[in-house]
Amino acid sequence: MRNIFISVVVLFSFSLLSQTTITNGFLPSAGTVYESYVDSLALNLWVDSGGSNKVWDYSTDFSTHLVIVDTFKDAQLSSNAGHYPQADLFYNTTGWEFFFSSNSNGLYLDGLYAGSMLTLDYNPNELLLPTPITYLNSVNDTSRIEISMGGMATTISYKVKTITADAYGSITTPNGIYNDVLRLKTIHNVIDSSLMNFGGTAVVVSVTNSQYVEYDWVQNNSQMRVMNISFDTLGNIDQGIYYGHQQLFTSIIPEPEKNSFIYPNPAKNTINVSLKEGQRFNLYNILGSKVLDVEYSLGSVIDIKQLERGLYIYDIIDIYGHKISNGKLLIE
């Protein structure tokens, strides 16, 4: 089964100038945010051979077709956590809830929930990021996922993957220059079995085999994944992702101090904006289009229910037209 979790990869800490070792010190925690800029056509993307002290320049090679913002939360905050008792984290994107677990061996995908008619449960869980791992080390993983579609049909997918740290160096993406980057090459070998329920008996109706490869560039300190390129089963590049800076949001938003401009953040239905007379509040989506333009009023409470979930950019403009503050707002 084609890996539908390709965008679901997280980061960890390592040093390239000394021993290049990835540890679990920077695996995601509740509040970690990932910004993914997706090139779904990948017309200008490329992958070279492995090695040491590489210099990769992708600064002009991406065309962004989709922006995704994912916020990790404590798994117990989900009403569907009971389906995945081992999970300690989850996030919700496009109606799917992704559940994860982590330990000293790395980060694992536990399952996905899209309603009672479609649940995906891994047993054993799929290893996404192994820890520790050093340059030229390889890690093997075997996982099994059962996809239930309301009891009428089931797909069982066995996956054997090999993750190899095959290169390191510096990389430039549209988001900036990153030094001390490690590249992970993952080879996925998958066997899918489709079953139909006939009179209470599960009958295998098809079995398929496939293989595909993906590459991840990762870096320490910034707690972020840098870039991902994936191939299809024919060996062609079919998608690329570069990542923006992560931010950490807590589930408890304290009372704002007098110099706070906007709260809560993240927000759902309304936001409070602290403006003075003559000031304006502007809000832009990730593509740069203005979606809100609000003038000063006493107790500026702004309705945002009409806005889609995701990351937005705001600025505060004074009476002279000068920008006095700017930042990011996450709408859940």
pLDDT, one tens digit per residue, over 226-240 is 999 999 999 999 999
108 by DSSP, 3-state: which? strand
Q: What is the dihedral of CA 125, 131, 135, 139, to 10 degrees?
A: -30
Q: What is the dihedral of CA 175, 222, 34, 329, to 10 degrees?
A: -80
209, 235 in Cβ contact below 8 A?
no
Give me the architecture of the 21-243 domain, per CATH: Beta Barrel (2.40)
**Residue 176 Rama label (left phi>0; alpha psi -120 to 50; beta):** left
Q: Name the range with the highest mean pLDDT among 65-69, 74-78, 187-191.
A: 187-191
Given a cut of 80, whether residue 24 has pLDDT beyond it is no
192, 155 in Cβ contact below 8 A?
yes
186 by DSSP, 3-state: which? strand
Q: What is the dihedral of CA 207, 124, 145, 31, to 10 degrees?
A: -150
Q: For the ranges 22-36, 94-108, 121-135, which has the lowest average pLDDT?
A: 22-36
Q: What is the dihedral of CA 107, 108, 109, 111, to 10 degrees?
A: -130
Identity of the residue numbered 315: D
Q: For the ranges 11-25, 157-171, 244-258, which has the lowest average pLDDT?
A: 244-258
Give the single-character DSSP code of 253: P
Quote the pTM value.
0.68
Q: Give the rounded percent of residues in the chain with a pLDDT score beyond 90.
A: 34
Each domain of the chain, given as residue ranges in start order, spans 21-243, 262-331
Give me the architecture of the 262-331 domain, per CATH: Sandwich (2.60)
**pLDDT tens, position by position, 280-327:** 888 887 666 788 888 876 557 888 988 888 878 787 877 766 666 767
Query: Which residue do the tokens 């593509």 mark?
Result: 287
Q: How far is CA 108 from CA 5, 101, 116, 211, in A?
A: 11, 5, 23, 20
